[in-house]
């Protein structure tokens, strides 16, 4: 049996990134004569979403940026939401716009995302930004996959030539993650719910990114000894004796994986905190671009 994996501390990495963002945000304010600003739009009352919106707002302010929160009623119609997005697009105090997903079923998500100015699309969900990512042009990259890439490069240095398997093909995580790994010259496989012999596919990988949304699906005996495992999943198990609120687990069976992997992200405290830190990073990058203030984006 191996020694066991080193645990990748996403929470600590995110704290360090936020400290660097705060320094750069203060410099931006000196040069631009205003703070960078992030607008977050929440439609409806989903309790989990409200928690994320609160912690985003708090961390935005802690980093020296303005946070504008817009909470709309669950029954808001699409036209009213599109009007709000138009106002935020035109507002010079707003550098980044995030419309919290999922939206209520009566609203067409793609219409709303397409209405956000690509220059303020700090989530990187607009098709202009996914197109830019896929052809290698500068734009905005979705926060979760960019956060995963930062952790991987911090742990491994160059990723050139490594075998990477991304499990999951969502527009938000799987597809952009694969594009980023390809740009780092990995050999990339995108696996998903219909992949045949998934354990064998995963066993080839030096890098595994699990983003399927199925609790503890990836088992230790699927993992090549020494591989680096990035767990994007956040699943709440049913309440039990020991965890009355339901334990938070990833898409990886941590107990077995930690025995075999070389390095692994925990849940919580891994990818989740990185997502918010990268959102703030993207907002500050947007602010410099939109205000025409020079900035070396590679420092964040």
Ligand X SMILES: Nc1nc(=O)c2c([nH]1)NC[C@@H]1CN(c3ccc(C(=O)N[C@@H](CCC(=O)O)C(=O)O)cc3)C=[N+]21
Binding-site annotation: residue ranges for NADP(+)? 168-170, 234
Which one, of 50, 52, 106, 51, lies nearest residue 80 by Cα?
106
Identified catalytic residue from 95, 123, 206, 231: 123
Query: By C-beta, is 59 or 228 nearer to ligand X?
Result: 59
Identified catalytic residue from 35, 56, 120, 175: 56
Q: For residue 138, count CB atoms less than 10 angstroms from its CB and return exposed for 0-12, middle for 13-18, buried for 19 or more.
A: exposed
Smallest gap, in angstroms, from Cβ of residue 138 to ligand X? Answer: 20
Smallest gap, in angstroms, from Cβ of residue 203 to ligand X? Answer: 27
Query: By C-beta, is 125 or 222 nearer to ligand X?
Result: 125
Report which residue's Cβ sits closest to ligand X: 272
* Annotation says 59 is catalytic: no
Smallest gap, in angstroms, from Cβ of residue 48 to ligand X? Answer: 7
Residues that bind ligand X (CB under 6 A): 52, 98-101, 123, 143, 234, 248, 267-269, 272-273, 275-276
Tokens of 185: 């010259």
* Annotation says 100 is catalytic: yes
**Binding site per annotation, positions:** 168-170, 234
Identified catalytic residue from 100, 119, 121, 175: 100
Query: By C-beta, is 169 or 186 nearer to ligand X?
Result: 169
Query: By C-beta, is 8 or 186 nearer to ligand X?
Result: 8
Smallest gap, in angstroms, from Cβ of residue 185 to ligand X? Answer: 27
Which one, of 123, 119, 141, lies nearest residue 132 by Cα?
141
* Annotation says 123 is catalytic: yes
Residues serving a catalytic function are 56, 100, 123
């Amino acid at each position: 049996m191996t020694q066991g994996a080193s645990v990748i501390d996403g929470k600590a990495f995110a704290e360090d990134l936020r400290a660097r963002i705060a320094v750069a945000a203060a410099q931006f304010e000196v040069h631009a004569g205003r703070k960078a600003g992030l607008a977050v739009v929440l439609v409806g009352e989903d309790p989990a979403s409200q928690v994320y919106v609160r912690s985003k707002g708090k961390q935005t302010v802690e980093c020296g940026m303005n946070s504008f929160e817009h909470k709309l009623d669950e029954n808001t119609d699409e036209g009213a939401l599109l009007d709000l997005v138009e106002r935020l697009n035109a507002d010079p105090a707003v550098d980044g716009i995030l419309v919290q997903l999922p939206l209520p079923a009566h609203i067409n998500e793609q219409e709303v995302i397409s209405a956000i100015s690509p220059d303020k699309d700090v989530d990187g969900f607009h098709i202009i930004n996914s197109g830019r990512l896929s052809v290698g042009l500068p734009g905005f990259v979705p926060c979760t996959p960019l956060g995963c890439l930062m952790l991987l490069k911090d742990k491994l240095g160059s990723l050139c030539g490594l075998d990477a398997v991304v499990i999951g093909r969502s527009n938000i995580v799987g597809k952009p993650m694969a594009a980023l790994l390809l740009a780092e010259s990995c050999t990339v496989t995108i696996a998903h719910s219909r992949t045949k012999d998934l354990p064998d596919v995963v066993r080839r990988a030096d890098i595994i990114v699990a983003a399927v949304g199925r609790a503890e699906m990836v088992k230790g005996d699927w993992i090549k000894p020494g591989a680096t495992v990035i767990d994007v999943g956040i699943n709440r198990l049913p309440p039990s004796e020991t965890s009355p609120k339901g334990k938070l687990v990833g898409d990886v069976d941590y107990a077995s994986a930690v025995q075999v992997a070389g390095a692994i992200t925990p849940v919580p405290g891994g990818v989740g905190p990185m997502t918010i830190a990268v959102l703030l990073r993207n907002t500050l990058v947007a602010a410099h671009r939109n205000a025409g203030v020079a900035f070396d984006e590679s420092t964040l």
